Structure 1
Amino acid sequence: MDSWVRFSAQSQAKERVIRAAQYACTLLGYTLQRSGAATELHTTVSQLEAHMSLTRKLLRLGNSVEALEAAKRAIHLSDSVLRLCLTISHLNRAMYFACDNVLWAGKTGLISKLDQHKWSQRSFRYYLFALILNLTRDVYELRLLIECEERYRASKSPPSPNPSSTLSADHLSSSSSPVAQATLALPVISVWLRGQLHLLVTVLYSNPPLLLDLLKNSCDIFIPLDRLGIYPTGKGFVGACGLASSVLSILTIVHPWLKLKP
Structure 2
Amino acid sequence: MDSWVRFNAQSQAKERVIRAAQYACTLLGYTLQKSGAAAELHQTITQLEAHMSLTRKLLRLGNSVEALEAAKRAIHLSDSVLRLCLTISHLNRAMYFACDNVLWAGKAGLISKLDQHKWSQRSFRYYLFALILNLTRDVYEIRLLIEREARYRDAKSSPQHSPTLPPDSSTPAAIGLPVIWFRRQLHLLVTVLYSNPPLLLDLLKNTCDIFIPLDRLGISPTGPGFVGACGLTSSVLSILTMLHPWLKLKP
Query: Structure 1 length normalisation: TM-score?
Result: 0.92
| Equivalent-residue separation in structure 2 for 1:6 and 1:91 (angstroms) | 20
Superposition deviation, residue 187 in structure 1: 2.8
Please tell me whether residue 152 in structure 1 is matched to residue 152 in structure 2: yes
Ranges in structure 2 where 5+ consecutive residues have no aligned partner? none
Please tell me whether residue 242 in structure 1 is matched to residue 222 in structure 2: no
Other-structure match for 1:101? 101
SS at match of 2:176: helix
| Equivalent-residue separation in structure 2 for 1:158 and 1:212 (angstroms) | 34
| CA deviation string 1:151-199 (max 9, x = no partner) | 1111111073588x95xx23x34x7xxxxxxx76553322221111111
Aligned residue runs from structure 1 range 1-262, under 5 A: 1-158=1-158, 160=161, 169-170=167-168, 172-173=169-170, 185-262=174-251
Superposition deviation, residue 2 in structure 1: 2.1
Other-structure match for 1:180? none
SS at match of 1:37: coil
| CA deviation string 1:58-103 (max 9, x = no partner) | 0000000000000000000011100000000000000000000000
Q: Write the letter of the residue equivalent to 2:17.
A: V
SS at match of 1:158: helix
| CA deviation string 1:16-64 (max 9, x = no partner) | 0000000000000001111111000000000000000000000000000
Q: Write the letter of the residue equivalent to 1:213.
A: D
> Cα RMSD (Å) of the superposition?
1.5
| Equivalent-residue separation in structure 2 for 1:162 and 1:27 (angstroms) | 57
Ranges in structure 1 where 5+ consecutive residues have no aligned partner? 176-182
Q: Percent of counterpart pairs with the same letter? A: 85
Q: Structure 1 residues 156 and 103 mapped into 2: Cα distance closer, same or farther (>3 Å)?
A: same
Query: Structure 2 length normalisation: TM-score?
Result: 0.96
SS at match of 1:218: helix
Q: Write the letter of the residue equivalent to 1:46.
A: T
Q: Write the letter of the residue equivalent to 2:83.
A: R
Structure with larger Rg: 1
| Equivalent-residue separation in structure 2 for 1:3 and 1:65 (angstroms) | 12
Q: Write the letter of the residue equivalent to 1:152.
A: Y
